[in-house]
Amino acid sequence: MSALQEVARLVEAGRLKKIENAVRGALDAGASPEDILNAMTGAMDVVGERFQRGELFVPEILVSARAMQKGVAVLRPLLTGNAAGKYGKFIIGTVAGDMHDIGKNLVALMVESAGFEVIDLGVDVSAEQFVAAIRENPDCHVVGLSALLTTTMESMRATVAAIGEAGLRDQVRVMVGGAPITAEFASDIGADGYSPDAAAAAVLAQQLAS
């Protein structure tokens, strides 16, 4: 089994004690941080498929999620450079009703490493909280919304609308993402951009800030 396969296996199995060493082992074996992130994301997809088939339950998903977060923590210093703040502030959060934060955290990490000062509002963030954060940070020009549930896509729509109703659409560009989100949906709700993954999100944030 390759070092990357071992990392994926440990995330799938939720092996919290072994994951950090396995990630270091993969780096030592020559894998890039991006390769390792992809291996861990692939493992979470497998976990999701097994959950859908009724082979796994929420507590097991949670330990896999924690294993992935421990693995990402090892990579964090390698991904964040010293360009922080070059592009200004970036407000990010997972929309109301949605507790998923692994993807949102990865986007925050990649956007930070691309030169933004990230303000992370966390999960289950209401439209009003986004609006308040934008008002508190008049120097923020890009906002990112994440949603993982089809049911919370409507919270995303409501958040974009609330930012508009608050008269803040001239101040900020809004980008969206998350597993059920598409470019068509982004355009339908009036967002300025959509990206399918964290690496593309960092590039899009730079484009929207420029």
Chain residues that interact with ligand B1M, rule: CB under 6 A: 41, 44-45, 47-48, 51-52, 58, 61-62, 65, 92, 97-104, 106-107, 144-146, 148-150, 175-179, 195, 197-198, 201
CB of 95 to ligand B1M, least distance (A): 10
Torsional sign, CA 155, 63, 111, 123: positive
Give 100 or 141: the residue with its C-beta nearer to ligand B1M.
100
Smallest gap, in angstroms, from Cβ of residue 122 to ligand B1M?
Answer: 11
Checking phi first, is residue 54 left (phi over 0); if not, alpha (psi -120 to 50) or beta? left
Q: Provide the pairing of β-strand 173-177 with 193-194.
A: parallel
| Helix axes of 58-79 and 19-28: crossing angle, nearest 10 degrees | 40
Identity of the residue, 3 or 181, whose beta carbon is nearer to ligand B1M in the bound complex: 181
- Is residue 4 classed exposed, middle or buried when 0-12, 13-18 and 19+ CB atoms within 10 A define those classes? buried
C-alpha span between 114 and 111 (Å, rounded): 5
For the CB of residue 45, give the shortest distance to ligand B1M in the complex, in Å. 4
Closest separation between CB of residue 172 and ligand B1M, Å?
Answer: 12
* Closer Cβ to ligand B1M, 61 or 166, answer by number: 61
**Smallest gap, in angstroms, from Cβ of residue 184 to ligand B1M?**
15
- Select 45 or 165, whichever has its Cβ closest to ligand B1M: 45
Choice between 39 and 175, CB closer to ligand B1M: 175
Sheet containing 193-194: give its strands across: 117-120, 89-94, 140-146, 173-177, 193-194
